[in-house]
Amino acid sequence: MNLKKVTSLKQQKVARYAKAMEHPVRMYVLDLFSNQAFCYNGNIMDDLPIAKATLSQHFQELKEAGLIQGEIESPGIRYCRKQENWKEAQQLYKEFLIR
């Protein structure tokens, strides 16, 4: 059975955003970015006790889901939330959870 045939585009998007936010480190990153007036530009490794490669994987997951945009510029990062997708995720969650 092809799940894309029985699930709506909204359901697929909600699931994709949820998958991207399933890890506490990713939630930390999104929370950090939400408190920034501009893109985060710094070394997040100073705050997180995880390997750089692991952090890079978390950023890649958030980026593939469309929740953040930017790049790693050694030794720091320059990233921010992708506002249009963030707003879409908020709306989709609201519609799903209020039902």
Map tokens 């519609």 to a residue.
Answer: 95
Q: Which helix (H) or strand (E) holds 73?
A: strand 68-73
Asked if the peptide bond before residue 75 counts as cis, ω within 30 degrees of 0, the response is yes
**pLDDT tens-place string over residues 12-63:** 999 999 999 999 999 999 998 888 878 888 778 778 888 888 988 999 999 9
Query: What's the pTM value of the predicted model, to 2 decimals?
Result: 0.84
Residue 67 near residue 86, CB atoms below 8 Å: yes
Is the pLDDT higher at 8 or at 47?
Answer: 8
Provide the CATH topology of domain 13-98.
Answer: Arc Repressor Mutant, subunit A (1.10.10)
3-class SS of residue 99: coil
Q: What is the pLDDT of residue 58?
A: 94
The pLDDT of residue 3 is above 80:
no
Q: Burial of 29 by CB count in 10 Å (0-12 exposed, 13-18 middle, 19+ buried)?
A: buried
